[in-house]
Structure 1
Amino acid sequence: MPDRARTMRRIATGLLVLMATVFLVAHRYQGLHPAVGYVMAFAEAAMVGALADWFAVTALFRRPLGLPIPHTAIIPTNKDRIADTMAAFLRAHFLTPQVVARRMGQMNVARAAGDFLANPDRRGTLGVRAGAAELLAEVLESLDPERMGEQVRAGLKAQADRLEVSPLIGQVLQAAIADRKHLPLIDAAIRWAGITLEANEPMVRAMIHERANALLRWTGLDERLANSVLDGLYRLLAEMLVDPDHPVRGKVQEGLEKLAHDLVHDPAMRARVEGIKHEILNSPAVGAWWQGVWERLRRHLIDTARRPDGVLAGQLGGAIAELGQALQNDPRLQWQINRFVRRSTVGIANRYGDQLVRLVSETVKRWDAVTITERVESAVGRDLQFIRINGTIVGGLVGLAIHAIDLGLR
């Protein structure tokens, strides 16, 4: 029992002892003055009221003086019935769909959440942000990296398997050609070809020398042939680069347009592209590459989340603040969220109300008699001691009134 309840019990008991002492003193000196009779009557009735209320209060929790008096120790003796009654009361008056809906209808849960989240200076909001970042870090650390990476890869692969990439590539290529955005790519390819040819010029000359016959090599014409071939290639690439209407560029343009058309409309081309896609997705090399990418991404996310003022924490904070502002300022969003919360809560009360009250009932039933007595007495014990004090005072006043009436009737 808490100290305050224990103090009130001592006061009530002390008041009873005081009334008994007053009664004994008044009884001894009752002939000294007529007023002593009033004092004795007050003290006598006060003792009766105090003892009656002490018995009533004590009988709730235990047997008075340990005597097996019927209808005492009411709470420990009837704890199972009390548990069932409490559960039935909760079910009938608090967990009905009508009560829950009426109560939830008076609450703007979305607005309250928005007020909480929109203020970035609140310690609670900072705690939400830090907690979310720490939770993300702990989840990423607790997962098996290889297994998680494989699951992510399998999920991406399943999505890619369902996506036919050939028409998508063809449509992107058609749009690029229509907007002439492919021209810089052609120019880049021509420059790359020129740089590659220049870097591999010795290999080209060696190939021409090897394929020339002995007469050309003996006369030295193979070197002139190699020079002519290389010069012709350099000249062709230069002309293609500076002349937008060069015939070779036109052939490249036609080839790209046909490729874009076939990617969208040619079943054979689409099947070949899908086959290449499946080969790439199922390649062990791609799997190993993805595992490395995933591990680097995972470690980066963990390190970023663990930094309180890092980018991820700031992004989480900004996202939380934006969500709070949206909940504050968007009545339609508030209405939708409040309706969802209300329907969900009513559904929980309707579907799981019996299980909730059964949990209350079974929990109370599992308590032993001493536990339930202590918990109830600790909750209401102080008020019950006031009953004893009030009973003492009221009893004394009633005794005083009866004594006065008795003297008046004589």
Structure 2
Amino acid sequence: MVAANGDAMPTALRALSADEAAKLSALRRTKFIATGALVVCVAIFALAKSLQGRWPWLGFVAAFAEAATIGGLADWYAVVALFQRPLGLPIPHTAIIPSNQNRIADNLGRFIESNFLAPEPVRQKLKEVDFAALVADWLSDRQRAEGLSVFVGRLVPQMLQAIEGSGLRDFATRRMLERIGKVEVAPLVAELLTAFTEDRRHQRLLDEFTKIIGNFLSDEQALAVLREKIREELPSVFNLFRADAYLLKRIVASAATLLEDVRGDPDHPLRGEFDQFVHGFIDQLRHSPDYARRAEQLKRNFLARPELRGLAQDVWKSMRGFIEQDVASPNSMTRRHLTSLFVEVGQNLARDPDIRADMNAGFVVALASFVESQKSGVSGFISEQVKRWDLGQLTRLIEINIGRDLQYIRFNGMLIGGLAGLALYSLELLVLAN
């Protein structure tokens, strides 16, 4: 069926479902019984009225039947007037629902907006849902996590392209360099060295240094160069007696002995001197303005070098190439890590009630704000949909769902009317008897 404005009617209004067919059958049955009861009241009234002269007590029956007939007719009119014009007559204030379709549509939309989409009821309803638990259960399923990682993997190249095209990469590089530029280098280095010197771990440097010097003193080429330097410094007469070889031998032997003593003695005085040097250097870094100024100058010179920005670009290109190649691979390491990450997030979320509570609170705020911003649109949508419904179909839909209950008004009208008529007839007799 097509609505008056040419739009196709909703499927729910085109054809009756099995449930609606059953409701329509019950409605017709109730209508038939109500109409039959009205006809019975008319027949009883006519019969009682005709026999009232012979049997006066039938006056009570006639009064009941007469008032019941009037009440039944009045309620029949009221029920029919809701959906159509009684007997097709153009009586004012009839066919109420079809005549007020637009107003009903607008009021229905406003009613739903005000009562069902109000902020407090929406928040209370959202609080009943454990969104975080649903997310945790979903992510904990490895098959779903794999599907999510595949989906994210497909988006990675577009994300990287968007980052590069938007200038976000250059912005991030500048911000990173700016943040590094604000860091005070000297105190930071002092703290790092302090952590490094705990338990005298810096003494390992001295051990390595002694090994390097020992290797140097055992190298023939190095010794030859050292001997040549000694020959240059000694007078010529000493070289005639090969004093350079004697001095070199004594220097090497003394140095080797010293280095061996240092390596074998954890409390050697040279180690103490090294401790004092390191701690003094750390103290200068922490408190000396001159050291701080030099460190800041070195930092600025380093950050100002163009090679640093080129290095950042090279790192980005290498990382992007690796990621794009990996996500395209059937055995992508990135997707495997993403899958494990999603599963772990789901499991941790399921175990942590505090995080779930925070997430649920966030969901409530976000969804409630979304509903609040969109509820006027929902109201308008409902109103427009109701306005587009065909009048006949709309009337049929409402009548099918509430018409059977309305028919009981006719029964009630006949009963209440009959009792009222009976009471009035009795009162009339009492007044006339006096």
Correspondence 1:157 to 2:174: no
Distance 1:240 1:199 in 2: 18
Deviation at 1:120, TM superposition (A): 0.9
Correspondence 1:166 to 2:148: no
Deviation at 1:233, TM superposition (A): 5.4
Matched-pair contact (CA < 8 Å) for 2:105–2:387: no
Q: Give the structure 2 partner of residue 118 of structure 1.
A: 140
| 1:8-407 equivalence runs, <5 A | 84-85=106-107, 87-121=109-143, 123=144, 125-144=145-164, 147-195=167-215, 198=219, 201=222, 204=225, 208=229, 216=236, 225=244, 228-229=247-248, 232=251, 235-236=254-255, 239-244=258-263, 248-307=270-329, 309-346=331-368, 348=369, 353=372, 355-360=373-378, 376=389
Aligned CA-pair RMSD:
5.1
TM-score w.r.t. length of structure 1: 0.61
Instruction: Indicate how the Cα distance of structure 1 residues 222 and 152 shifts in structure 2: closer, same or farther if over 3 A, else same.
Output: farther
SS at match of 1:243: helix
Matched-pair contact (CA < 8 Å) for 1:6–1:382: no
Instruction: Indicate how the Cα distance of structure 1 residues 87 and 383 shifts in structure 2: closer, same or farther if over 3 A, else same.
Output: closer
Deviation at 1:103, TM superposition (A): 0.8
Instruction: Indicate how the Cα distance of structure 1 residues 173 and 341 shifts in structure 2: closer, same or farther if over 3 A, else same.
Output: same
Distance 1:241 1:382 in 2: 107
Instruction: Indicate how the Cα distance of structure 1 residues 208 and 88 shifts in structure 2: closer, same or farther if over 3 A, else same.
Output: same
Deviation at 1:175, TM superposition (A): 3.7
The one-letter code sitting in structure 2 at the alignment partner of 1:164 is: E
SS at match of 2:142: coil
Deviation at 1:221, TM superposition (A): 5.6
Deviation at 1:203, TM superposition (A): 8.8
Q: Give the structure 1 partner of residue 50 of structure 2.
A: none
Distance 1:203 1:283 in 2: 41
Instruction: Indicate how the Cα distance of structure 1 residues 386 and 91 shifts in structure 2: closer, same or farther if over 3 A, else same.
Output: closer
SS at match of 2:318: helix
Deviation at 1:129, TM superposition (A): 2.1
TM-score w.r.t. length of structure 2: 0.58
**CA-to-partner distance for each residue in 1:156-205, whole Å, 9 max, x for gaps?**
22332333232232233234334121122222233334556749738945
SS at match of 1:271: helix
Distance 1:360 1:322 in 2: 38
Deviation at 1:104, TM superposition (A): 0.9
The one-letter code sitting in structure 2 at the alignment partner of 1:208 is: K
Aligned length: 329
Worse overlay, 140-149 or 107-116 = 140-149
Deviation at 1:126, TM superposition (A): 2.5
SS at match of 2:181: helix
Instruction: Indicate how the Cα distance of structure 1 residues 331 and 179 shifts in structure 2: closer, same or farther if over 3 A, else same.
Output: same
SS at match of 1:144: helix
Matched-pair contact (CA < 8 Å) for 2:262–2:270: no
Distance 1:234 1:146 in 2: 67
Q: Give the structure 2 partner of residue 20 of structure 1.
A: none
SS at match of 2:117: coil
Distance 1:130 1:248 in 2: 61
Instruction: Indicate how the Cα distance of structure 1 residues 237 and 296 shifts in structure 2: closer, same or farther if over 3 A, else same.
Output: farther
The one-letter code sitting in structure 2 at the alignment partner of 1:239 is: L
**CA-to-partner distance for each residue in 1:270-302, whole Å, 9 max, x for gaps?**
222222122212222222223222322232233
Deviation at 1:109, TM superposition (A): 1.0
Deviation at 1:311, TM superposition (A): 2.7
The one-letter code sitting in structure 2 at the alignment partner of 1:253 is: D
The one-letter code sitting in structure 2 at the alignment partner of 1:157 is: L
Distance 2:293 2:314 in 1: 30
What are structure 1's unaligned runs of at least 5 residues? 13-52, 60-70, 395-410
Instruction: Indicate how the Cα distance of structure 1 residues 327 and 174 shifts in structure 2: closer, same or farther if over 3 A, else same.
Output: closer
Matched-pair contact (CA < 8 Å) for 1:105–1:342: yes
Matched-pair contact (CA < 8 Å) for 2:138–2:346: yes
